Amino acid sequence: MTRSGQHLDRDHPISAVLARLEADLASVGQAPAWSLSGQETRAALLALTRIQSRLTGMEVKVTAHAHRIGAADAVGATSIAAWLAHETRMTGAQAHRMVKHAVAVDERHARVEEGLVAGDLRPDQARVIVEAVDALPAEVESAVVDQARAHLLAEAAHHDAKALRILGKRVLDVVAPEVGEAQLAKELDAEEHAAEAAQRLTMSDDGHGRTHGRFTLPTWKADLMRKVLQALASPRHGGLGATPEGMGKAFGEFIERFPTDRVPDSGGVPATVVVTMSHETLMGGLRAAQLDTGTLISPGLARQLACRAGVIPVVLGGESQVLDVGRKRRLHSETQRLALAARDRGCTAIGCDRPPAWCEAHHDTPWSRGGGTSVDDGRLLCSRHHHLAHHPSYEMTHHPGRKVSFTRRE
């Protein structure tokens, strides 16, 4: 008797075998495994694997038949999957996947069923092969589909399901290279267009001087960005390496270095940062400055930004009267940079060995105090020492040989 109260036709070969199998398994269910020798244990495991495959093949055959004849109708179930889920307590999703797979094998993949019933194909391998072949483009000829299936079945003798899935994605490259190349090009083109449309960037200021963000980029663009950031983060270039901290610092450096002359105008004016500061701040005072975005910055950072390309300083008098709107470009020319590099040979701070390529040009006499952008009045400082040169907590002292040192103010 089945759980539903229906009599099982024991005269059918499948029913008879299942009945004997259940009885045999019940008879050994309580038998201990400790008495099996190592060789017997290994043989038993292999036999169980083959039997499991054979049973799965039989399950596929019977499930597809149940779906085809509407076996669930007689008991009022909406589908054979719903009936299975109720009777066996498997999840509904699992039951529907089981029926869908069985129908696909029964209708289109007879050789996969044969492999299962023979015990040569593992159940997870069968699923991978069915999914890979069914995923082939509709325009692929049936002969090519058969070749793809045969190829994957042959590879199943040497590869597990994970490796088969990888082989399945490129099976056309093997059985029909000309079709595979065209299909791959089509898939990549569609993937790239979708990735372009999915580009996103969100940034959120946390109110504590930090901004957090998330982005989505096409992978090829992310590869380009990763290459640049890894170069900037390289310990050989003074970076912290490809750690989250190192890559974050490199990202900030990349933004600072981006050539502003390549940024398009916004609203008819260059898309540059404007920093507004008091004359007192520019001359070394401690009053905070403000960017045109509304962000407050320290006086040291304001003075540092005042001599950067792409940053326009606006200097205010005592009653917020504009005393000066600085020029966008205040940095030394390429020729002047070459001259500075030839003369200074690197950062001029005592004890610093940063080479010219890692340095920035600094005005000995601040531009705000009438200094000129010249070789005579300039020097090379690495990023850290250039920052200290504009920091209110540090004093820069000049030494013979065009060297400088920094000491913290008391």
Q: For helices 110-117 and 92-108, what crossing angle results, to 10°?
A: 110
| Between residues 149 and 277, the one the model is more confident about | 149
Q: Which of 155, 133, 154, 153 is nearest to 144 (CA)?
A: 133
> Does the pLDDT value for residue 1 go beyond 50?
no
> Please, which residues bridge with residue 361 across strands?
380
pLDDT of residue 358: 82
Handedness of CA 241, 244, 249, 254 (dihedral sign): positive
Strand partners, 265: 270
Burial category of 111 from C-beta neighbours within 10 Å (exposed 0-12, middle 13-18, buried 19 and up): middle
Q: What is the pLDDT of residues 56-86, one digit of tens each?
A: 999 999 999 999 999 999 899 999 999 999 9
Q: Are the CB atoms for 356 and 410 separated by under 8 Å?
A: no
**48 and 118 in contact (C-beta within 8 Å)?**
no
State CA 323 to chain mean position distance: 49
pLDDT at 328: 43
Percent over 70 (pLDDT), the chain: 77
pTM of the model: 0.49
pLDDT of residue 115: 96
The structure tokens listed for 246 are 């190192």
Backbone phi and psi for residue 394, each to the nearest 5 degrees, phi listed first: -125, 150
Distance CA 305, CA 234 (A): 25
Query: For 331-340, what is the mean pLDDT?
Result: 68
359 pairs with which residues across the strands? 382
Reduced to 3 states, what is the DSSP secondary structure of residue 215?
A: strand
371 vs 365: CA distance, rounded Å: 5
Over range 88-94, report the average pLDDT. Answer: 94
Backbone angles phi, psi at 55, to 5 degrees: -65, -40
**Token pair belonging to 110:** 């007879």
DSSP codes of every residue in 366-402 = -GGGT--SSSTTEEEEEHHHHHHHT-TTEEEEEEGGG
Q: Which residue has the higher pLDDT, 5 or 263?
A: 263
106 contacts 38 by C-beta, under 8 angstroms: no
Q: β-strand 378-382 against 265-266: which pairing, if any?
A: unpaired
The pLDDT of residue 111 is 95
Average pLDDT, the chain: 82
DSSP codes joined into one string, 116-135: HHTT-S-HHHHHHHHHHHHT
Residue 5 pLDDT exceeds 70: no
Q: Phi first, then psi: what are they for 310, rounded to 5°?
A: 80, 5
The tokens 């799965």 sit on which residue?
56
pLDDT at 409: 85
Residue 224 has a pLDDT of: 82
**Distance between start and end Cα atoms, the chain:** 95
Query: How many whole angstroms separate alpha carbon 25 and alpha carbon 222?
Result: 57
C-alpha to C-alpha distance for 54 and 118, rounded to whole angstroms: 6
pLDDT in tens, 26-45: 999 888 999 999 999 999 99
* Interatomic CA distance for residues 372 and 229, integer angstroms: 34
User: For the chain, what percentages of helix, strand and coil (3-state, to nearest 5) are there?
Assistant: 55, 15, 30
| DSSP structural state of residue 235 | G
* Six token digits for residue 180: 């595979």
E strand or H helix at 54, and its extent? helix 38-69
Q: Which residue has the higher pLDDT, 372 or 201?
A: 201
29: Cβ contacts below 8 Å, ≥ 6 apart = none
Q: What are 92-139's pLDDT values in tens digits?
A: 999 999 999 999 999 999 999 999 999 999 999 999 999 999 988 888
254 CB-contact burial (10 Å; exposed 0-12 / middle 13-18 / buried 19+): middle
Q: CA 42, CA 253: separation in Å to the nearest integer?
A: 60
CA 284 to mean position of chain CA atoms: 45
